[in-house]
Amino acid sequence: MRLLLGSELDDFLAALRLDRETSVRVNTKVEFELLSVLQDAGLEEVPWCMEGYYLRRRPQFTLDPLFHAGAYYVQEPSSMFLSEVVEQLLPQESVVLDLCAAPGGKTTLLSEYVGDKGLIVSNEVVRQRVFILSENVQKWGNGNVVVTHNQPRDFGDALENAFDCLLVDAPCSGEGMFRKDEGSIDEWSIRNVEMCAARQRDILRHAWPALKPGGLLIYSTCTYNRQENEDNAAFIRDELGADIVNIDYDSEWGIKETEAGLHFYPHLTRGEGFYICVLRKHDAPYTPFTAKQKKSSFKQTGNKEFIPLMRSWLQTPDKWHIRLNERFADAYPTKYQLFIDYLSQHFTCVSTGFGIGEVRGKFMAPQHSLSMLKDFRKEVFPCVPLTLEQAIDYLRSEALPLHNLPFGTLLLTYQDCPLGFAKNVGNHCNNLYPNEWRIRNK
Ligand code: SAM
């Protein structure tokens, strides 16, 4: 660190002893004024991300129903700089592969940025981490993300030239997390730095063919050393074939620029350690990836008569392709239907777009992730606004003592924001909140 920072070292070490910042990125699904827990904590804007806010005090997020409804995501401020990068460099109409994606901070940011125009394939290799990624994606509610559980080489092998942008937010030695996560101090060693740097090059090499010529590679880590950062950027530039792209930033933000990329240091910026570098893959003649060229043998099963009903649950049904299996129905952007069908056949897809319906006996019931979707037509189901206490009980999957309500499926809300469904069966209300997502601590 002395070699990197020289006379700034003492300031850097002093900053490591300070408390880390708490910050959130808010979702457009809820009126800003209704985010009372955040407002009460005291908000200050993160300068490089429009939706990012520092909180003066850290609230108990678990006890805020809106946290569980995806109204905001608790995200480290430095990593929100991705927002500035994509605003400057990435057309919204892009197909992006977020290769190392769990728990999903950057995926949800990208999903918000590309909106209706683009698509995000969000991948995680570690099985235990892929479910939290999928949960965070469902809660964010854009429906434009396919969550996969594959190896980087699977993308390079099967999806040559498929992506406009590849984000590799690489597993790293975590020097920038020392303040946030003490475990990362114990895990640090020179050997581990070398091991991480080699693994990062493997990841990059394997996934590289999936990026189109002329496409953008965004490479980031939460560590400071040159081996995992500048040296790997040089590897991408010289061995894989790319040019480093300039990123503009305000000099007041305290970012340090090197010959390859930008660094966030805690004594200069309000956030944890972070490194980011953007490279553009060399242009070359190529055959664009089109799913149509590959044989698509995807067959719908299940009762098609339910499709008009499910379409009626959506504000803009034409935007979505509904795919029926025997029991579950998923919906994903019509615009990318062939590509997503191809992914479903060749990749381990944990979620494709969002779950819309589930066959229950003779009926089609809405799936929870529909209630999280921004394009959901809330007025289709009778709405039951809950108090804070009722909302927490619901999110704990407890019994619901609700009375005098219409029969059938009900939409439960808190501060106007959907939390999920319940079913009034007459003498009681069944809590349909996904059991695996329930709040566990008391
Ligand atoms: N992008 C995430 C976000 O913003 O929430 C954080 C990603 S974290 C820095 C790196 C991720 O890479 C971890 O989820 C880890 O499980 C995954 N990973 C570990 N080994 C990997 C490998 N060999 N190839 C690809 N990803 C790997």
> Along the 442 residues of the chain, how does pLDDT read in single tens digits?
999 999 999 999 999 999 999 999 999 999 999 999 999 999 999 999 999 999 999 999 999 999 999 999 999 999 999 999 999 999 999 999 999 999 999 999 999 999 999 999 999 999 999 999 999 999 999 999 999 999 999 999 999 999 999 999 999 999 999 987 888 899 999 999 999 999 999 999 999 999 999 999 999 999 999 999 999 999 999 999 999 999 999 999 999 999 999 999 999 999 999 999 999 999 999 999 987 655 555 677 777 899 999 999 999 999 999 999 889 999 999 999 999 999 999 999 999 999 999 999 899 999 999 999 999 999 999 999 999 999 999 999 998 888 889 999 999 999 999 999 999 998 889 999 999 999 997 6
3-state secondary structure at position 220:
strand
Region class of 4: left (phi > 0), else alpha (psi between -120 and 50), else beta? alpha
pLDDT number for residue 295: 56
Q: How far is the CA of 101 from the centre of ligand 1 (A)?
A: 6
Q: Is the CB of 112 under 6 A from ligand 1?
A: no
Q: Is 129 in the pocket of ligand 1 (CB under 6 A)?
A: yes
For residue 133, give the ligand 1 atom closest to its CA. 5
Does residue 169 have its Cβ closer than 6 Å to ligand 1?
A: yes
pLDDT in the model for residue 293 = 57
Just list the catalytic residues. Answer: 222
The residue among 412, 406, 410, 400 whose CA lies nearest residue 426 is 406
What's the whole-model pTM score? Answer: 0.97
- Our answer on whether the CB atom of 420 is closer than 6 Å to any ligand 1 atom is no
- Residue 65: what pLDDT? 98
Q: Do the Cβ atoms of 162 and 156 come closer than 8 Å?
A: no
172 C-alpha to center of ligand 1: Å? 8
Choose one of 74, 97, 100 to mutate for the ligand 1 pocket test, by most ligand atoms within 8 angstroms of C-beta.
Answer: 100
Q: Is the CB of 100 under 6 A from ligand 1?
A: yes
Q: How far is the CA of 425 from the centre of ligand 1 (A)?
A: 43
**167 CB under 6 A from ligand 1?**
no
Question: Nearest to residue 169, comparing CAs of 114, 104, 241, 88?
Answer: 104
Neighbours of 414 (CB within 10 A): 24
Q: Does the CB atom of residue 125 touch ligand 1 within 6 A?
A: yes
pLDDT of residue 441: 73
**Assigned token pair, 35:** 């985010």
Shortest-distance Cα residue to atom 26 of ligand 1: 100
Q: Report the C-alpha gap between 416 and 402 in whole angstroms.
A: 18
Q: State residue 183's pLDDT score.
A: 87
Contact present, 359 and 327 (Cβ < 8 Å): yes
Of all protein residues, the one whose alpha carbon is nearest to atom 10 of ligand 1 is 171
Question: How far does residue 126's CA lie from ligand 1's centre (Å)?
Answer: 8
